[in-house]
Each structure stands twice: as C-alpha cells, then as structure tokens.
Structure 1
Amino acid sequence: MDDSGLHAPAQNREYAFPSMKLKIGDRLQLQLPPPLAQEKHTVRLIGYCEGVSLLVMPPHGFAMKLVEGENIVVRFFSGEHVFGFTSTLDHIVRIPFEYLHLSFPEKVQGVRIRKFPRIQTRLDATVSSAALDGHPLSCTISDISISGASLLAEADLGKEGENVIVSAKLEVLGNPHELELNEAIRSCSGKGEEERHYGIEFQKMDAGHKLVLSSFIYQESLEEI
C-alpha cells in the first residue's frame, strides 16, 4: 500500500462565505460550548442575511440550555470541501417557534477533499472472508485513510494477500453510516502475541462509500477549525 503523502497535514485555507454555496435546508454541524460540547449536533439552515446573521434550528432538546453570547463552532460538508467557522450565539428566538441567530462568520476555513491524511481512531469493526467460513471476527480500526487502514485484532484475520470484507459504522454530521469495504491484507505483524496488527488496502470503493469515508476523515481531522 502506497502511503506517500497521506501523513501530510491537511492544507486548509481561508474561503469567502459564498464559496460554501449554502442552501436553505442544508445540514450544519454545531459543536456547542462546554459543558455541552461532548457531542456534535446536526441542525438545519433556515436562512441567512449575508454580513449580518445565520438562522438555524436549535439542536433538539438543547435550546433551553444555550446561553446568548457563547461561541459555537460550525462545520459544513459539501461534496468537494469541508468548511469550518466560529460564530457567536447572538439571540435565541422562542416564539412562534425556536430558532437561533448566529453571528455571520468573519472568516471561513476549508479544505478541498483531494489529498487524504491518515487519522488515528478507535473504531469497532468486524472482518469476514471465505477463509473465515462466514464467521465475522471483531477487530479495531486504529487508523484510516481513503486508501487503507490499520486493524488490531486478537484473532487471526488472514494472511498477506488475502481479501477480506471489513464492516464498520461511522457517524458523519450526526448521521450514522454503515460501510462494508472489500480490502486486501498487505501486512501482518504480532503473530503469537496477544494482539496482532494488520495493514489493509481498500479495493474498488464505490462513490457513495468514498464520499462517506472522506467526509469522516476530514470531520475528524478538522476538529481544530
């Protein structure tokens, strides 16, 4: 597996707000301030006045817990870019229905989904193959890129060169996705030890899975935006 360039940091740069091409109804990811920041929440954009304010629906069940004046990190995933910016919660409207006024972003950071870094993660997954007689084995994805991943497993998942199917659940913008990827084992180490390490390469990923995986990778790698 060729990992050249995969460990390079994502090249994010500043974009103009119109570059996001936001539309009414688009889903945005909000990262709330402490102590509400443990989870990310998906909301709908219901309008904006450029240079003035963004209008979004509140995270379900959280409107009463939010405080005006707090900063909120906003992320948006398009088909080609991942964008992020910080807004201030200017006002909470409660009548006739709840929605939030967020300050218009002074600057927007973004990354074009083109070169994909390898990110560290701890994803539960299962591996199946003809050699395993249809009995999936549990493993952990310890890092992942658009071209491959590293697996940790207590069981023997197969030999170098063998094809396997790895299944895992990802969350992108608060929405769950199930991936089932055809992969080839490229390396194996730690035989005879309590935990074995496998390097795998993805084979012929379809466009839908590629978009979900690339969005997940950039979602995780742009936490600081």
Structure 2
Amino acid sequence: MLFIPIKLEELKPGLTIYFPLYYASGEMAIDAGFTPESEEQVAALVERGLCRGITDPDEEQQEKEEEMRNNLPGQPLKPVAGESKPASSPQRNADIRTLEQISLKIGENIQLQFQSDAETERCIVTLIGYLANQGVIVTTPMLNGRYMNIREGQIFVVRMFSGKSAYAFTANTVKTTNVPFPHLHLSYPKEVRGLMIRGSSRSKTNIICHATLENGKSSACVARDISNGGALIAAREKIGEVGDKLTLKMRFKINDAEHLLTPECTIRSANPAKPGEDEGSIMHGLSFHNLSSQDMLVISAVLYQNMMNDQQEEK
C-alpha cells in the first residue's frame, strides 16, 4: 500500500470520513467512520500530515496470485531435470528506505504513473537530480512525441529499479517549468518502499522478434510470453543449442509509444511445441542478462497492460 497526503478539500465538517487515515509511516491514525466537527478540526488533520492509503495495482495483482497458489490443493510440482521452472510471481521482501539509501544514479530512467480518476497513464522519464528533504527533479513525460501538460499538484506513483529490487513512492508535482528545458519538480518522499524480486511474473504475448547468435546467424521468431527474467520464443527451426548466447530484438507498443528492446540472452531450453500450441515449431526458453532499468520498466508496463486487458475481457 502507498500513502498519499490528504488535502483540505477532501474533508468537510459534519461529513463522515469513510476511509482510514494513516501516518506517513503506514501506522493507522484514525479508523474509518470518523466525523470532524469543525473547520479547525479538519485543518488540524491536514496539518498533522495524515494520509489515505491506495493500493499499488502491481502489488495487489501479485498478492492475489500468491494467495491463489497458496490455496491450491496438494504440494507444488517439482520441475523435471533440465526443464525450466514454471512461471511464478515475484517472491518479495518488503524493504523501507530513504531515497538516498537507494543510491540512484543521475540519468537513470524511472516510471511515473498518474493517480487520478481521469488518467492512470504510465510514462518513462529521466532522473535529473534530487536533494534530500527538498525535492526530486525529472524530465517532463512525453506522449505521442509531445510533452504532456502536467498540472501542479498532480500526484504520481514513482517506480524505479535498483539492483534486484523494485522501489515505489508517491509524490506530487510542486512545480512545472520549461526553462531551460521541460522538467518537473516533485515532492521529496519521506520513505521509499522496496520489493525484492526473486522470480518473474510472466505475460502471454504475440510479438514478432529476431534472434541473432554470436556467430551472426539470425532467425525470425515470435515471443509467446515474457517476463523481466526471460522469454519463451517460437521458431520454425532450432535457433541454437542450450547455453548459446544471442541477442533478441523486439519492439513493444505501450499506449501510443514504441520501445525497441535488444536484451542479451542465453538459451536455457529448446523443445518441440506441445500439440495444439505452435505445432511444428521449436520452443526456446531464454534468460535475459543485464537488463537496463529502462528495459525492466518497459517490460513491467507490458505485464501491467496485459493484466488490465485480461481483466477487461473477463468483464
């Protein structure tokens, strides 16, 4: 759960608050059902820096998957020797830090997710800099090749990767400026919540790719699923042997923006497709190496976008 400071206009004297209020640390301050009696009491709640909790969509989905696995009867199947492990959602350890402790590098790509009823857009921006307890500066997000119009006060969930952990915090836009170039000043987070990623959530895909071995041999293929850890690709013939290194070239379209990824990979398995699934093809299990933070953000956005599409289809 992420915590967003409440605003004065959200509370009114005599109106019941139907959600709990928290301190920035996550500790509950006031249970749902409280009714402020005066303007002074409302102002006091805001001055105390109380927050409302919002659920991180990625974390909620991962928790649901974990709960479903825990409720399955019997013991989990053990993989056959030489067979890749079944896809699973990340096994995570909560980690609360300050932004300075993460040691982000200037120029790294981070993700901004809008938090409003009108937009839930996710955009990749560049970290320009930050000053402890003062603020965070990032480039202005772009959509369709144009800079987006960001209002002051706009709330974002900010996500980033460092090492093997994914981090997130909430921030609001303090200042937007175009001088000397378009950039945003965001509020500085009191804390950053991290999740240790040991596995990889997978998503079904149908993306045309090109695989190129170290010897220059190139093969057309289709990515049937993908995660931050690797991909399953189908090809008409065997691309290479288990252990061979290759570069996978694939293009993603997220909303209206295109992203080209060229991860370095190792072939972990190569087996004929199962009956009814890409018959006549060879399925290759690949593991990714040294993904950049931008590549991880793009793949995470693909996973989230596909998850939302699946939910819409179920409705």
TM-score under structure 2 normalisation?
A: 0.50
- What is the match of residue 250 of structure 2? 169
Say if 1:32 and 1:72, in contact at 8 Å, map to a contact too: yes
Q: Shift in Å at residue 66 of structure 1?
A: 0.7
Pairs within 5 Å for 1:97-108 = 98-108=182-192
As a proportion of its length, which structure holds more helix? 2
- Rounded to whole Å, the distance in 2 between the matches of 1:14 and 1:190 is 41
Say if 1:152 and 1:197, in contact at 8 Å, map to a contact too: yes
Question: For 1:210, which of 273, 278, 289 is the aligned residue?
Answer: 289
As a proportion of its length, which structure holds more strand? 1
- What is the match of residue 140 of structure 1? 223
Q: Is 1:41 aligned to residue 120 of structure 2?
A: no
- What is the match of residue 55 of structure 1? 137
1:83-140 CA-to-partner distances (Å, cap 9, x unmatched) read 1222111222345654322122243222335x222421534322467xxx95622322
Secondary structure in 2 matching 1:136: strand
Larger Rg computed on CA atoms: 2
1:55 to 1:31, Cα distance in 2 relative to 1, 3 A: same
- Rounded to whole Å, the distance in 2 between the matches of 1:68 and 1:48 is 19
Q: Is 1:179 aligned to residue 263 of structure 2?
A: yes
Pairs within 5 Å for 1:188-203 = 188-190=272-274, 196=281, 198-202=283-287
- Rounded to whole Å, the distance in 2 between the matches of 1:20 and 1:169 is 30
Say if 1:166 and 1:183, in contact at 8 Å, map to a contact too: no
What amino acid does structure 2 have at the position aligned with 1:169?
M
- Rounded to whole Å, the distance in 1 between the matches of 2:158 and 2:300 is 14
- What is the match of residue 159 of structure 2? 75
Q: Which runs of 5+ in 2 are unaligned?
A: 1-81, 253-257, 306-315
Q: How many residues align?
A: 208
Q: Which runs of 5+ in 1 are unaligned?
A: 203-208
Question: For 1:151, which of 210, 233, 238 is the aligned residue?
Answer: 233
Q: CA RMSD in A?
A: 4.2
What amino acid does structure 1 have at the position aligned with 2:125?
T
Q: Is 1:31 aligned to residue 88 of structure 2?
A: no
Say if 1:124 and 1:138, in contact at 8 Å, map to a contact too: yes
Say if 1:80 and 1:112, in contact at 8 Å, map to a contact too: yes
Secondary structure in 2 matching 1:43: strand
- What is the match of residue 12 of structure 2? none
1:166 to 1:32, Cα distance in 2 relative to 1, 3 A: same
- Rounded to whole Å, the distance in 1 between the matches of 2:276 and 2:238 is 14
Q: Shift in Å at residue 215 of structure 1?
A: 7.2
TM-score under structure 1 normalisation?
A: 0.66
Secondary structure in 1 matching 2:104: coil
Say if 1:75 and 1:84, in contact at 8 Å, map to a contact too: yes
Say if 1:82 and 1:110, in contact at 8 Å, map to a contact too: yes
- Rounded to whole Å, the distance in 1 between the matches of 2:168 and 2:191 is 9
Q: Shift in Å at residue 212 of structure 1?
A: 0.6
